[in-house]
Amino acid sequence: MTVLSPRPDLWTLDPDVLHLNHGSYGGVPRRTQDLMAALRAEAEANPMLWFRSVAARLTTSRLELASYLQTDPAGFALVPNASAGVTVALATLPIPAGSRIVLTNHTYGAVRYAAERFARANQAEVVLVDVPLEADDETVVAVITAALDDAAVLVVDQISSATAMVFPIGDLVAVCRERGVAIVVDGAHAPALIDAPAADGADFWTGNFHKWPAAPRATAGLVVAEQWRTAALPLIVSWSEKDERLPERFDMQGTYDYVPWIAAPESLRLLDELNWPVRRSQLSDLVDEGARVLAKALATGVAEVAHPAATMRLVELPASVDLTAGEALKARVSKELKAEITLTGFDNRGFIRLSAHAYNALQDYEQLAERLPAVLA
Ligand SMILES: Cc1ncc(COP(=O)(O)O)c(C=O)c1O
């Protein structure tokens, strides 16, 4: 098989910096940036004309994004981010007093806040299920299933943030269906890492295009099961409020910057041209090797995640590193080493979560491995 070469030339990332954290805020390729600039120029040439054209352009973009996810366009709405998607889901689903919203100890912090807000408002309770990092799919399903008594809703990651672990969503959807528990799938990291990620049978699925598909920021999708399509409302009340069609109701969010939503399909086309499925599998090998190199330099190990996300790995931090000072450490690494990494904590363990995208090469990880031990010492 041909080895695809890294393509930093397609991005505008500072070449003097090691960019090893695509997973947090993504990175928009030059081509999509150019399209956004052209769209903005058009908008500023005649704002009235631009806003008259937005609805039709959004329809085109939405249909392309739904087709990329291989999901029914009638149940696919645009939202600014996965946080908004989860918020809409929890605002729509019935949460009876005394019931439970079940999360796991891998749930993204802001999603947990959303669950706590809706639990408070409905006199319900949030329950966190402990899922071991090393758990295989069967164990994950067993421990979550055991917590579903009296549950109104399960909110579960498709790929977790702190632990970069893939959850067995198909099985969890089946268990929830069987027990009459609503399931919200947080697929923030799923588009481009999981094929056809939109979790058939889930009540709600949300995922970010601004992470792995490298779309402009503030571009995410919400997939809504048929039974909730009338009830689901966008977070901003605007002129489309009375539109009975779900996707259109979410399109017009007042005077807003619609350029990212309109430009997003350009990034999907670029990934396609980059031979993404093959490239993703090569990036998986790359981040494996990069993680091994870094772990060796730090004299630690690579976390044994049973089902890791394709393009992210966790390298254990030395025990001497105090994660409560993590923000300061990341800022030091950024300033002194010219490297962008993220640190995560799980179950009293600290990790560097490494990413790989099409612009990365093995030397990025090797350089980090050369430089990082001195800062952590
Ligand atoms: C699992 C998970 N859920 C939700 C989010 C929130 O995404 P956003 O900031 O786009 O709303 C993230 C962001 O990293 C995440 O990793």
Q: Is 156 in the pocket of ligand 1 (CB under 6 A)?
A: no
Please give the average per-residue pLDDT across 122-150, as a whole number.
Answer: 97
| Confidence label for 325 from pLDDT (cuts 50, 70 and 90) | confident
Q: What is the pLDDT of residue 212?
A: 98
Share of the chain above pLDDT 70, in %: 100
Q: What is the pLDDT of residue 371?
A: 95
| 280 alpha carbon – ligand 1 mean position (Å) | 21
Using CA atoms, how far residue 140 sits from 131, 171, 184, 312, in Å, is 6, 10, 16, 20
For residue 64 the two structure tokens come to 């392309």
Share of the chain above pLDDT 90, in %: 96
SS3 55: helix
Is the pLDDT at 48 greater than 80? The verdict is: yes
| 160 alpha carbon – ligand 1 mean position (Å) | 9
| 239 alpha carbon – ligand 1 mean position (Å) | 28
Instruction: Choose the residue to mutate in 161, 185, 205 for probing ligand 1, maximizing ligand atoms within 8 Å of C-beta.
Output: 161
Q: Which CATH number fits domain 8-28+274-376: 1.10.10.10, 3.40.50.720, 3.40.430.10, 3.90.1150.10?
A: 3.90.1150.10
Q: Is 162 in the pocket of ligand 1 (CB under 6 A)?
A: no
Residues of the chain with CATH 3.40.640.10: 32-269
Q: Is 266 in the pocket of ligand 1 (CB under 6 A)?
A: no
| Confidence label for 89 from pLDDT (cuts 50, 70 and 90) | very high
| 186 alpha carbon – ligand 1 mean position (Å) | 8
Please give the average per-residue pLDDT across 139-154, as a whole number.
Answer: 97
| Confidence label for 2 from pLDDT (cuts 50, 70 and 90) | confident
State how far the Cα of 202 lies from the Cα of 174, in Å rounded to an integer. Answer: 9
Residues near 5 by beta carbon (within 8 Å), at least 6 away in sequence:
none
Residues of the chain with CATH 3.90.1150.10: 8-28+274-376
* Segment 287-308, tens digit of pLDDT: 999 999 999 999 999 999 999 9
**Closest ligand 1 atom to the C-alpha of 210?**
10
Q: Is 353 in the pocket of ligand 1 (CB under 6 A)?
A: no
List of E strands, 34-83: 76-79
Is the pLDDT at 150 greater than 80? The verdict is: yes
Q: Which phi and psi (to 5°) does residue 140 adopt?
A: -60, -45
Between 199 and 162, residue with greater pLDDT? 162
Q: What is the pLDDT of residue 308?
A: 97
* Segment 64-77, tens digit of pLDDT: 999 999 999 999 99
Q: What is the pLDDT of residue 377?
A: 79
Q: Is 212 in the pocket of ligand 1 (CB under 6 A)?
A: no
Q: What is the pLDDT of residue 80?
A: 98
| 94 alpha carbon – ligand 1 mean position (Å) | 23
**Closest ligand 1 atom to the C-alpha of 107?**
1
Residues near 295 by beta carbon (within 8 Å), at least 6 away in sequence:
301, 302, 315, 316
Q: Is 76 in the pocket of ligand 1 (CB under 6 A)?
A: no
CA 185 to chain centre: 11
Q: What is the pLDDT of residue 199?
A: 78
State how far the Cα of 103 lies from the Cα of 354, in Å rounded to an integer. Answer: 25
* Closest-CA residue to 170 (of 150, 190, 151): 190
CATH topology of domain 32-269: Aspartate Aminotransferase; domain 2 (3.40.640)
| 268 alpha carbon – ligand 1 mean position (Å) | 19
Please give the average per-residue pLDDT across 217-242, as a whole number.
Answer: 96
Indicate the average pLDDT of the chain. 97
pTM for the full predicted model: 0.97
Give, using CA atoms, the residue closest to atom 12 of ligand 1: 188
Is the pLDDT at 1 greater than 80? The verdict is: no
Is the pLDDT at 122 greater than 80? The verdict is: yes
